[in-house]
Structure 1
Amino acid sequence: MTRTRARALLRISTLAAVLAVVGLVVPDSAVRPADMALVKLQTAEGVDPGGDDVVWILAVGSDARPGETMTRTRGDALQLIGINPRTSAATSIGIPRDSYVSIPGYGSDRINASMVYGGPQLLGETVGNLVGIQPDYVFVTKFPYFIDMVNDIGGITVHNPRAFSDTGLKPGGFKAGDIHLNGYGAMAFSRIRHSLPGGDFDRSANQQRTLAGIQARIRQQADKPGFIEKGVLSVMQHLDTNLAPGELFRLAQLVAQVDPSKITGCVVQGGFAMIGGASVVTPDTGQARRYGDVARTTAVIRHC
């Protein structure tokens, strides 16, 4: 992946780039699988990124292996992100990937299985049923490209509340406090869970910290003349999307205008259970709905 390509995508995705579907996307190549996808869902036909309503983006980090279709595999990270164009506020509702929920038409399963069953439309509907907010867009990216993107902007700074490590991904670990992460470090920080006391819940919170770090870094460059325009023109050559160029440009403007000091986020909590021989998360559905109710029109969650 070229530096130009990575920089262009970051201009569009900003909050959605961590981490990350799809019969609706328009492939830009007949012979090459997509590395990134930005999909407008059928339920969002009337959304206007240049309007006054909160725009909701479901960000998905795909764990697709070589040869697998990125948008029809289980997502490894799920963040529902709301952006308020009136106030430049943004919030994210983190959803543990192993949350055991009802998937329309398929019974109950882990929430990320809905991407396998029905692409972004079903994934969005399933998340919407849990939180009470149907996303307008779904953004998906592979982790190797996330690494390139973070490196391209010179790394990010996050506040880490606790020291932790992982023998596979980060033997040296992460110290507590403000830390600077390169692309690989940001990926590992976002994916490690076994050594965290809260497992999936703490991992989802770290993903939100990573998103905030990316947003803060990008915001520093957003006012440069031609920054967004050049990004949109470039990304149209590499991004699988069903958005028209004008809507893509308005969405890019919306994301770039987010004020890092107005970013909030909470993770849907819950318990753990063994169902069908597999370990799953049993999400607190009441809490998920409360987060949705609070953030729906403001993109702000003041208390988790």
Structure 2
Amino acid sequence: MRARVVRVLAVGAVLAVAALVVPDSAVKSTEVELVKVDRANAVDLSPDVVWILAVGSDARPGEDMTHTRGDALQLVGMNTKTGAAAAIGVPRDSWVDIPGHGFDKINASLYYGGPQLLGRTVGNLVGIQPDYVFVSRFRFFEDMVRQIGGIEVNNPVAFGDDFLKPKGFPKGRIHLTPYDAMAFSRIRHDLIRGDFDRSANQQRVLRGIQAKVRANAAKPGFIEHGVLSVLQHMHTDLSPVELYRLGQAMAQVQPGKITNCVVQGGIGDKGGASVVLPYVDQARRLGDEARKDATLERC
């Protein structure tokens, strides 16, 4: 118990000091952004569940990553009491009604209105409005994986990509380097079900990251170093206390209590572009199942 108290105080001290001494230029970094979502209406959520929409931005160097098209969309819920977590993957090409802009691919909402509009659009589809939106560039994602020494994932089928991964990924339990984790998350053309399988692979990577962090959390300085590293590259409207509470929620997730599903749909054509026509009924059912306790019974 004493060790736990010391650890909590140590992380709290890192957050407090970082808030004071991290250079202003670092605070305004565009590598990662964490935004608290503004809500016009009350949402039926358990006070024990925190929902974060994790987004990978495909912004090019010099572009504002919060106003480009999002590449990876994962709505993640964490139950702070039970240690359960649920991830609902949304294919980026899902054809939906974007508030104020009409129908378009769901990832375009980041371009039109930034994290706030993207959070609202995904929330309208699933029926769960996220509490926070976390946007990161893939370069920073690679850096995060590098800091924890790579990850392990269970790959159900061998696949590759002539550009991103010519030698491919074998079937089975495999180790992913930082670059491999990025490629594993982004490849879709060689996958049987395209965007749906890619979203499932993104969930496998998230599980791998969480498992690695949990396995190393007891090592002296591991959590503190991670917190400081993220703060040095983050722009956020959250207070250090709120950041610390989010960190606690993530650390409490138990690997055996993680469930995940991907919103399915048909394939359509809109203006010559291939799109996903999401099964809204399934998306809402997943939201209803996970809303209060962050668990999914079935996909």
Change (3 A) 1:28 1:239: farther
Equivalent residue of 1:220, what SS?
helix
The structure 1 residue matched to 2:273, chosen from 272, 278, 302, is: 278
Equivalenced residues, count: 278
1:219 aligns with 2:214: yes
Map 1:196-215 to 2 at 5 A: 196-215=191-210
The residue that corresponds to 2:19 in the other structure is none
Calculate the aligned-residue CA RMSD, in Å.
Answer: 2.4
Shift of 1:29: 2.7
Q: Distance in 1 between matches of 2:27 and 2:124?
A: 36
C-alpha separation in 2, matches of 1:44 and 1:220: 39
Correspondences of 1:141-290 after superposition (within 5 Å): 141-225=136-220, 227-229=222-224, 231-290=226-285
Secondary structure of 1:39's aligned partner: strand
AA partner of residue 107 (structure 2):
N
> Which residue is 1:104 aligned to?
99
Could you give the per-residue CA deviations for residues 216-239 of structure 1, whole angstroms, max 9, x where no partner exists?
A: 000012234554455445543331
Question: What letter is aligned with 1:152?
Answer: Q
Partners of 1:205 and 1:266 within 8 A in 2: yes
1:89 corresponds to which of 84, 89, 96: 84
Deviates more, 1:216-225 or 1:184-193: 216-225
Structure with the greater alpha carbon radius of gyration: 2
User: Contact between 1:40 and 1:138, CA under 8 Å: does it hold in 2?
Assistant: yes
1: CA distance between counterparts of 2:144 and 2:27? 24
Q: Which residue of 2 aligns with 1:34?
A: 30
Aligned partners of 2:243, 2:208: CA distance in 1, in Å? 23
Alpha-carbon separation, structure 2, partners of 1:81 and 1:31 = 25
| Counterpart secondary structure, 1:236 | helix
Instruction: Work out whether residues 63 and 143 of structure 1, in 8 Å CA contact, stay in contact via their aligned partners in 2.
Output: yes
Instruction: Check if 1:291 corresponds to 2:280.
Output: no
CA contact (8 A) 1:83 1:299 kept: yes
Question: Any idea what the Cα deviations from partners look like across 1:102-122, whole Å, max 9, x if unmatched?
Answer: 000000000000011111111
> Higher helix proportion, which one?
2
**Which one of 127, 142, 148 corresponds to residue 122 of structure 2?**
127
The residue identity in structure 2 corresponding to 1:270 is G
Paired with 2:74 and 2:135, the residues of 1 have a C-alpha distance of 11
Q: TM-score, normalized by length of structure 2?
A: 0.87
Question: Larger deviation: 273-282 or 219-228?
Answer: 219-228
Preserved contact between residue 44 and residue 136 of structure 1 (Cα < 8 Å): no
Local SS of the residue matching 2:73: strand
Q: Secondary structure at the match of 2:216?
A: coil
Q: Matched residues in 1 for 2:97 and 2:65: separation?
A: 23
State the alpha-carbon separation in 2 of the partners of residues 239 and 31 from structure 1: 6
- Pick the aligned partner of 1:67 from 58, 62, 84: 62
Structure 2 portions without partners, runs of 5+: 1-10, 16-22
